[in-house]
Amino acid sequence: MVKKKDKNKWRHCGDFIRLYGVTVPHGCLLPRVVEGAFFGLETPHKRFKYKCTRLSHNNRVISSEESVFGVDTWVFLEHFSDLYNKLPNQEKDLSIKNFPLTRTAKLLRNFLRMLNIYHRVIFNGTDVLNPLKEYPKAKKRHLPI
């Protein structure tokens, strides 16, 4: 945890070098909020209309079996999205929820390394991780749980 410049807030900061050495990339990055946000209704409509005219002008056809239009919920880049929020896919979220209870500092460090990957999708992650960062610094080998 690293203290922010303004106010007494904390932000999460992790060491990814050793973690990247043992993880296998799956080639799918986490989506950003800006990628799915529309700031006006006219601009996306104009872009969609322009793309459709270009497709028809070049004799290209959109496959209706592979396309989905007019739905309220969808899965995009392993994230469940709807009109109001974007949540991680429940299947991918089970690895954090089903992690075994940590009783030693070594297991806690492994858990914190795993959370370094998912810290963007955890709601108030820094508030949860701040007390956990202090336990591995203790001289005791077993945690008081």
* DSSP output for 9-55: -EE-----HHHHHHPPP-S-PPPPHHHH--S-SHHHHHHHHHHHHHH
Across the chain, mean pLDDT equals 72
Question: What percentage of residues in the chain have a pLDDT greater than 70?
Answer: 59
CA-to-CA distance for 25 and 103, rounded, in angstroms? 29
Range of the domain at 79: 2-137
Q: 73 — phi, psi (to 5°)?
A: -130, 145
The predicted structure's pLDDT at residue 57: 87
What pLDDT shows up at residue 137?
62
Q: Report yes or no on 105 lying in a domain.
A: yes
Rounded-to-integer distance, Cα 69 and Cα 24, Å: 34
Tens digit of pLDDT for each residue in 70-109?
A: 788 877 776 778 878 777 766 666 777 777 777 777 887 7
Enter the pTM of the model: 0.35
Q: Is residue 44 part of a domain?
A: yes
Number of structural domains the chain divides into: 1
41 in any annotated domain: yes
| 71 domain residue, yes or no | yes
Q: Is residue 84 part of a domain?
A: yes
How far apart CA 142 and CA 145 sit, in angstroms, is: 9
Residue 79: inside a domain, yes or no? yes
